[in-house]
Structures are given as structure tokens and as C-alpha cells.
Structure 1
Amino acid sequence: MLRKINFMLLVIMTITITSCSEDFLETKPTDAISSADALATPDNMALILNGLHRLLYAQSQVILPGGTSTRAGNHFWIPLGDNLTGDVIHTAPANNLGWQNQTKWISHTLETSRTTEHLWYQRYHIIASANAIINRATDGSIPEDARLKEILGQAFTYRAYAYLSLVQHYAKGYLIGNPASDPGVPLLFASEAPFTSEPRSSVQVIYDQCMADVDTAIGYFQGATARPTGSADAKSQLNIDVAYGLKARIALNSGQWRIAADAAKKSRENYPIMDETDWKSGFNTTLLPEVIWGSNVITTETTFFRAYFYLMSNTFNGSQIRNNPKAVDIRLYNQIPDTDYRKDVFLKDAPNSNGSASNGEGGWDNNTNPLYTTEDEFDSAIAAIKAEYGLASGHNTHPYMHFKMKQKVPGGIEPDDIILMRASEMYLIEAEAEAMLNNIAAAQAALQPLGSERDTAYDATSFTTQAALMDHIKFQRSLELWGEGFGYTDHIRWDEGIDHAANGGSGASEVLYVDGFKQDKPSINDDWVFKIPQAEIDANPNITSSDQNP
């Protein structure tokens, strides 16, 4: 089973390498110590956890057997969530990493694609490593002190995180299907080769396992050593706040509204909502005050042109961005009040400087914006944007382009941190769950702190019915969490399809988007579900071709 899982201890070591001009540290994984040694003490187990922290963002070929340099963990999987649904708009052809194959709805519908295969194996690697810790740490051979409880809390949280990711991608959505009978993914509890799994369990069984694991994690964290504070690296570690946040996500996506609201509230307690300065600073560091969990990408990690910001940030100096600046859906932009400072990160009137732009309006000769009456005005506006945001000479500009995600070093190629969970999401989970319970006042109360921070004229009490609240919550999630990867799971939970031509149009090109331009809602459209890797079917005796998703 899982032919590509060779249990690697993912222990981190630091070695010194001499470059042409300077000495620098490179952090690499090694499997040079035995399994028994790696699991002998809580401190050794912590090294395995450090390997998992890195596995979340490393290029897969440096950690996973059979991996590829074209996928760098959550650098790829996080923006994929908004790429598949078209919440982030591509403005021109630029198909590095097969990124626009995702946009066109090609890769995740193929059982032999890198996307379907590497997401599957990366998440099962997390599960296998978590199992190794859990199985040894609970066998009674190591005293259960606060340090061991911290290790177990992280391991159980990681396992819940990986199973949730798998069931959300490779199975039908909980709320739009029949979870008691819909096939989910295999449960794996082994910590040693050959990693024999169960057959595909139902969606319900997988969600139950996620909830059981996260509840177990919370129990361990309550008696555990605390997570360090004050550094970006510290927020790579999982703690009780992360576990509560994950519990909120599990409950939200399975319709356990009371549990979702209560867990979200607990998760966000220690993380103040970002102010305008922080919100506009670029989303490039886990040090932002409301970040609950994120990957602190080590400076020597060579993701570069495989990084989240390479795919997402218009300040990154890579061909995917220079040729194809990412833009906001025009329909979302038009809903943002002028009193909401989040509107400022989207440049409605940026000139279209790209002759290859998919809307055919690139360059001065095709300009349609009445703000620019001369070519000098057009060129000056382009130059001003490049100067303000630190763009390189080769960067194109485009109407509605964004500067929400900005690099610490604009115009460079260094990979920055990946934010995985923050307080604003938890306010929105709480609000949605209360709205689904028809607790109008409670939903309004959850929305008001976030909305009033972002919008000087905000008044949550103006949304007085469940329907009005849900429409507004969908808008707030689409805006607040734009580019942070929630589009795919939100569309499935809400059973909403994709139609870039509807309601005035998103700004996307049907020629560029192909099948991704319009998709029926998930409840009637099997293409929302990722194919199980053919390699898994070929290797796993408990899964056959009849188990393949339709």
C-alpha cells in the first residue's frame, strides 16, 4: 500500500556548504538515524515533528521518494484552493508548473497527474510520521510528562489535518452528499512498512476520525508545555489554539454548527485582529499578530520558483507573475465599500501593459480606460505602480491586479512564510455557524469586530435574516481570505458552481480558462472530486479500479 511511503524520520540536520562567494547554511532531511533512536525520547520525536513542519513547504523531491521539483507542498496546495475556483484571476497565458492546467480543470481530474498523486502521498506521509510518534509515545515505554504531551498533541493534530485535507479533496463534500455511504479515503494506522491500510472508509468515518484525533490533541495540549512565543519559527509548531482552529474547520464542513462556533472562539482568543497597517503589509510573515499557525520558510530553502508567492504575489520576479499578474474577480471588487480599506490592495485602474493579456486590451494602442488620455499618462501610471510596489522592469500591470500578498523583498525571488490559520478565519467560522443555527444576534456579534476593523462604516446589525447574513458572510470570506486558499472548500460546502460570465463577468477569459470557466455545482458535478492516484490503485490491494472516483 502507498508504494511511495518509505517511513523517513524526517530529522533535520544543518550542514555547511561553501558557495562561490560565501558560506551558508542549508537545512536538509536525513534518514541516517534508526527508527528506534528517532522515537526514543520526546526530544527526538520533536525532530520528526520539525521534519513535518518542513514537509509542509519543501519541494517534494527532497523529502518524498519519487517526488518532483514542480510541487513544494503548501506553496502549491494553498493557492490551488483559489486557483481551481477562479477566485484569483489569471490575466494572460503563463503555464509554468502546469499552473494553468489547474485553472483549466485538467490536472485534478486525471489519476496520473502530479497534482492528484503528490497531494495524496504528501498527506499520507504526514499521517505515517504522526502514527510513528503516536504508536510509540502511547505504548507505555516513555513517561508521559508535559513534554511528551506536547509531542502527542502535535502528532494527533497533524493526523487530523492530513485526513481532513484528504477527505475534502478525494471524496464528495460532507454537506452535499451522503457521508454515511459516500467513499472517503483509506485509514492508515501503521507506522512501519508496508503501511497496510484499510479500504476506503466512508466520509463519515473519516470525519469522525478527524474529530476524535483533534479532541485527543486538545486533551494532551491541556497538560503540555506551552508553545514558545516571539518568533516566526515558533508558529510553525502546533498548539492547542491550532487544534481548536482545526476542530472548527472540521465541524464547519460537516455541519456541526455549535461545535464549530465554540471551537473557533477558543482558537482566536489570543490573537488580536490585524489593523490596517498589518493587513496591508503583505501577508508574508507568521509574525503578524493574528496568525495562529503558519510555515516559517527557512531562508536557505530553495523553493524560489516553486513558492506560494511565485504563484500568487504580483511582486515576485518570476515569469508566472511578470507575464500573468493575478487579479481579483471584478464582481467581488464591485461589492467592496469605499470605506473598507481592503479595497486599496486591488488596483482597478492599473493600466493593461501586457500585449499578451487574455482580454486583448494590452498596451496603449488597446487602452480603454478614460483616465489615460495620452500614452505618456498611460506609461507614467505603469511606472508609478512599479516604483511604489518595487516591481522589476519586466513586470506587467493589469486592471484589478492585487497587492495583498507582497514579498518582504519586493522584486526578488526569495520564498516567504505561508500563513495557514489566522484569527479572522475563526471570526468568520463562528459567524457562519451561528447563522446556520439561525442565531442572528450571535452571528452579528461575531462579524462586528472584524467588519468594523476593516470598514469604518460597518454595521453587522443591518443583516437581519439568515439569508442576508449568509450572503454577507460569503462576501466577507471571499474578501478577507482572498488568495489564502479557501475557495475550493467554500464552494463545496456552499454547493456553488463556477460561472465567470455571470453577473457582469469576473474578468477571466474563456479561451484561457477552458473547462474552468464554467462548472456546475459540486452536488451534481463529480469533477469537483480529485481522482485517486493510479499509482495507489496499482499498489494497494485494498483499493481497486472500481474504487476510483467517477
Structure 2
Amino acid sequence: MKRIYLLALMAVLIVGITGCGEDFLEVQPTQFLSEEQVAEAAANNPDVVAGSVSGIYTLMFETGTGGDGGHDDFGQKGYDIFSDFLCSDMALSISTYGWYRRTTEYTETTDYTNTTNYMPWRYYYRLIRSANTVISALGGNDVTPENEENKHLMGQAKALRAYCYFYLTQFFALEYEPSKEILPIYTDPTEPNLPKSTTAEVFALMEKDLTEAIDLLETFNRTAKNEVNKYVAEGLLAYVYATMGGDKLAAAKTLTEDVINNGGFTIMDSTEVVYMGDASVGGFRDVSTPGWIWGVDLTLDNGLDLISWWGQMDVFTYSYQWAGDRKAIDQGLYDAIPANDVRKGQFYGDPSSGYYLIPLGKFYTADRAIGGQRNIETDYVYMRVAEMYLLHAEVCAQLNQEDAARASLKELVGKRMADASYIDGLSGQALKDEIYLQTRIELWGEGKSYLAMKRNKATIVRGSNHLSLVGEPIPYNDPRLTFEIPQNEIQNNPNIDSGNK
């Protein structure tokens, strides 16, 4: 596992120790700080560990973190695109350069030697390794730091570790099967290669990490939205519980309610979700948007260009969406959006155009110049409060608390169309189906439909604008919809063999 568990570069930490005094620097004169040095310094100067936590957040949007070096390798938002293609809500409608083509054909996910399977494995375990280093430096998994700032850093590290394991369970397991062995668990940076743990064991770690993170972050006032605070941790734990289902649904309901009622976030209004003639608002490009719970403020200093989520998804950015690898909404999903729903306007509706059904009205830069953004200054969204309303509605419907489910759903849909009263007449499976549909519509292109597909045990049927497998029913647990444990791991970890599905 050491080949995929890379220590985050610690150069930022060298700056962080300048307040520790010259004596410390003289007796520890190495170029980089070891784990032991970080732990020693952290007791008196939390900035040392803060630099490492900051490094984890940077890894979330850096290019090449999946080890592939391709133009689809740029952190979390890259895997959001992969997941939207796997669940088929996103269609590759034109393929000029070939990016994602084999993903949409499901040939990569059935071949463990293909490097596409290695990318998410390396990315998430790399972040886990970094989080484990922070946790170890702060005293270990079962220690609560005395310093208030170190408590907050511990909370962030544990939440980030859980976030990584959650996505690994979604990408590398067919479904939630508690007794099935799926992934190795690493909670210490010095652990050797380990065998796979069961689904129940992985989810137990996520539950423990996030529950502790929520407590540790109770007094944390973050300075930027890229940082995990209490409400981000609650949102992540709500996803974990909703995936587990059963007696965990009530806890998911409570968590989503706290985020909705106390987080201070508001549902994005119609001008924020759809271009209506004023390019100075909307576009899903500004982390300060009140409806965003978690995201990152990208600037020119971050050095992102055509290899980015914006490059792959936005026609107003100089990259693949503009140049000829078109990502569009699935035709069937587009047809399911009512004409009086403002979100219909997020997608270009002229079938004679090469831009047919791409998100011209959802994702855009301030100048809306085709191919205009060469260097990325537009932000990334990781989580927004609309998700919590939809997830709250979903778990309430599963709990047969249909009044609460309808109320949450109407709160969102009422901001997308003038009359959402039709929801009052929905119950049973029809209500559950509508919540799932609204989740797919509202969160299109944001990497959340794949998670909803698995939770709802849905069968997908591709619309006519896909380049392959049109009209074929594909159930949520079809092995083609998840990645294989990659060849690199199988070759280097004697405790793991192939056949993870």
C-alpha cells in the first residue's frame, strides 16, 4: 500500500514552524518534517498540522492526483464526472477526443488492468494516508487533543478520512452488503498492506469518524468553505446513514434537519440555477453562493486550465466541452423535466445544434464567451443545501413519514416551478420515485446522481443521445457500474486478489 499511500508534501509546514524558535530548527535540520517532528511541533504550534490539513484540501482539486496524468485526472470533481457517466444521467453525445468514451461503454470498469480503475483508488487512499498522518501527529485515533485548534484539525482530518472511505465504498462495491469484504482499512500511516475488511467494518469506521468529527467541530468557525465544518460532517454522515438504510434512516433525517435549520444555508433561487440573461449571477461558479455548504475558491494561483472540471464540462472554457467531447443531459431525463420548470432552461434545447442538451444555462463563466476561459477562476462546489432537502425527503419517505417528505420536496420544487401542488397528491412509491427524479434533475452534473441510483436501487435506461447502449436496462448493481480493484493493488498487496465484484 505504500506505493499509493504518498505523504503529502510538507513544504508548507516548514513555514509553519518558524514560530517554534531557532533551537527547534537547529536540532531538526532536515528538508522535510517527519511524522514524529510534526507530532512534536504540533503540541505547541497547531499551524504545523494546519498546513498538512490545508494540503489535503489542495489535493482535492489538484491535477494528477489519481496517478494517471490524463486530462480526466483532477481530483474529486473528476470522479463526479465519472459517476455521472456511470449512472447514465450524463450522456457523451459527441466524442472527438475520446475522453470518457470507454467509460461510457463500460469497457474500463470491467478490466482491472485499465488505469481508470487505479485513479479513484489512488486518489482516495492518498488522501486517507494524509489524513492518517494528521491524526497520528495529533495523538492517534483514540485521543482528543487538548488544544482547541488541534481539536478542530482532528475533526477535519477524521471527516476527510470518512469522506474518502465513503466514496471508495460507492465506487468499488456493488451495493451495501454488510458481510461482504470490499476494502482494506488503514487508520495509521505506518500500517503494512492489509486484507479487505467487510462493508460493515468500513461503515462502522465512517460512522465513528464522522460522529467524533461533529463533536470536535462544534466550536469551529471556518475561514473558507473549502474547510470541513460541523455541517459538512453532518451532511457526509447523513449520506452514510442513508446508504445503510434500516434503523439508520432516522439518524439521517435528524442530521439533514440540523443542516437545513441551523446551517445558515439557503436554497439557490431561479436566477442562481439558470441563466436568465444576466451573466453576473448564477453559473455555479462562486463559492460564496449562500446555497453552497462545501466548495473551493479557485484562483489563477491554483494553476488550473483545460485539465479541470470546468474544462471538461463548460463550453465557455477553452477545453473539451467546447472543442468536441460533449457532455449532455440524458434525453430521457431532459424529457422528464416539465416545460414550466426553470431547470429546463439549464440545457440547450435546439436538436439541430452540436450543443444540444449541454448545460449552457447551468454552468457558465461571467462573460459567457464560447471557449473564453483559458485559466480557471471559477469555483468548485462539493455539497449544497439542496442535497439535504432532497435527502431529507428521501429518508422521510422511506420512514413512511410522507407529510415531512412532501414538505421538504415542495420547499425545493416550489423554487423551480410556479406550482408544486402536484406533490400533495403523491404517496407510496410514486412519492419515492418523484424524490429520486427531482434529485437527478436538481443535482445533474454535480456527481450525486450515482449515489442516489445506488440508494434507490434504480434501473437506468439510456436515452437516444448516448453513443452506446441506448435503451438497454441496466440495474444499479450491474458490475459494469463500479470500478475493479486495480492491477497495481493486486500485484503489490499479497492480501488482495481480483474478483472484487
User: Shorter-normalised TM-score: what interval?
Assistant: 0.7 to 0.9
How far residue 403 of structure 1 moved from its aligned partner, in angstroms, is 2.5
Deviates more, 1:137-146 or 1:436-445: 137-146
Task: Tell me the CA shift for residue 67 of structure 1.
Answer: 5.0
1:294 aligns with 2:323: no
Query: Is contact 1:339-1:455 (8 Å) kept?
Result: yes
Over 3 Å counting, the alpha-carbon distance change for 1:421 and 1:333 in structure 2 is: same
Measure how far apart 1:264 and its partner are: 1.2
Q: Who is 1:534 aligned against?
A: 487
Taking the aligned partners of 2:465 and 2:228, their CA distance within structure 1 comes to 38
Per-residue deviation at 1:250?
A: 0.5
Instruction: Give 1:257's aligned amino acid.
Output: L
**Native 8 Å contact 1:325 1:401 kept in 2:** no
Go from structure 1 to structure 2 and tell me whether the alpha carbon gap of 1:293 and 1:343 turns closer, same or farther (over 3 Å shift). Answer: same
Give 1:346 deviation, angstroms.
1.8
Matched, 1:210 2:206: yes
CA contact (8 A) 1:444 1:463 kept: no
Aligned-residue sequence identity (percent) comes to 28
1:521 aligns with 2:479: no
Q: 1:183 aligns with which of 173, 181, 184?
A: 181
Which stretch shows the higher mean deviation, 211-220 or 262-271?
Answer: 262-271
1:252-263 correspondence to structure 2 within 5 Å: 252-255=242-245, 256-263=248-255
Q: Aligned pair in 2 of structure 1 residues 435, 136: CA closer, same or farther (>3 Å)?
A: same
Deviations 1:269-302 (A, max 9, x none): 3101111222231111211111110132342333
Question: Residue in 1 aligned with 2:375?
Answer: 414
Residues 332 and 180 (structure 1 numbering): CA distance in 2 closer, same or farther, change over 3 Å? closer
Paired AA for residue 36 in structure 1:
E
User: One-letter code of the match for 1:212?
Assistant: K
Local SS of the residue matching 2:293: strand
Instruction: Give the aligned partner of residue 24 of structure 2.
Output: none
Which AA in structure 2 matches 1:214? L
Q: Give me the whole-angstrom Cα distance separating, in 2, the residues matched to 1:427 and 1:402.
A: 25
SS in 1 for 2:267: coil
The question of 1:549 aligning with 2:470 is answered no
Distance in 2 separating the partners of 1:445 and 1:142: 39
The separation in 2 between residues aligned to 1:31 and 1:306, in whole angstroms, is 31
Q: Which of 437, 440, 451 is the aligned partner of 2:399? A: 437
Q: Distance in 2 between matches of 1:499 and 1:335?
A: 13
In the alignment, what sits opposite 1:404?
362
Alpha carbons of 1:60 and 1:31: their partners in 2 closer, same or farther (altered >3 Å)? farther
Aligned residue in 2 for 1:90? 92
Aligned ranges 1:100-111 → 2 under 5 Å: 100-111=101-112
| Shift in Å, 1:197 | 4.2
Q: Is the 8 A contact 1:293 1:419 kept in 2?
A: yes
**Are the aligned partners of 2:8 and 2:55 in contact in 1 as well (CA < 8 Å)?**
no
Question: In the superposition, relative to structure 1, how do residues 141 and 442 fare at CA in structure 2: closer, same or farther (>3 Å)?
Answer: closer
Partner of 1:164: 166
The structure-2 alpha-carbon separation of the partners of 1:401 and 1:46, relative to structure 1 and needing over 3 Å to count, comes to closer
Q: Deviations over 1:350-381 (max 9, x none)?
A: 632x4xxxxxxxxxxxxxxxxxxxxxxxxxxx
Q: Distance in 2 between matches of 1:251 and 1:31?
A: 43
State how far apart, in whole Å, the 1-side matches of 2:474 and 2:406 are: 31
Cα distance between partner residues in 1 of 2:366 and 2:166: 31
Residue 499 of structure 1 is matched in structure 2 by 461
Which of 57, 61, 72 is the equivalent residue of 2:61?
57
Return the letter of the residue paired with 1:122.
Y
* RMSD, aligned CA: 2.5
CA distance in 2, matches of 1:311, 1:320: 5
Mark the runs of 5 or more structure 1 residues left unpaired by the alignment.
Answer: 16-29, 229-233, 355-396, 501-505
Matched, 1:315 2:316: yes
What is the count of residue pairs matched by the alignment? 466
Deviation per residue, 1:305-363 (Å, 9 max, x gap): 221112212222224433243322232222323332112222223632x4xxxxxxxxx
Matches within 5 A, 1:123-202: 123-138=124-139, 144-174=146-176, 179-192=177-190, 195-202=191-198
Aligned to 2:79: 77
Deviation at 1:35, TM superposition (A): 3.0
Q: Which runs of 5+ in 2 are unaligned?
A: 16-29, 275-281
Q: Tell whether the 8 Å contact from 1:82 to 1:485 is kept in structure 2 after alignment.
A: yes
- Structure 2 CA distance for partners of 1:401 and 1:189, relative to 1, 3 Å: closer
Q: Distance in 2 between matches of 1:444 and 1:480?
A: 16
- TM normalised by structure 1 equals 0.79
CA contact (8 A) 1:184 1:202 kept: yes
CA distance in structure 2 between the partners assigned to 1:46 and 1:405 by the alignment = 33
Contact kept? 2:269, 2:415, Cα under 8 Å = yes
Which secondary structure does the structure 2 equivalent of 1:347 belong to? coil
Aligned letter for 2:48? N
Tell me the amino acid that sits aligned with residue 101 of structure 2: Q
Find 1:475's aligned residue among 417, 426, 437.
Answer: 437
Distance 1:441 1:82 in 2: 30
* CA separation of 1:282 and 1:197: change in aligned 2, threshold 3 A: same
Q: Does the Cα contact within 8 Å between 1:75 and 1:306 map onto a contact in 2?
A: no
Instruction: For residues 63-91 of structure 1, give each alpha carbon's deviation from its aligned partner in whole angstroms, at most 9, with x where no partner exists.
Output: x7x55243111231112111122212222
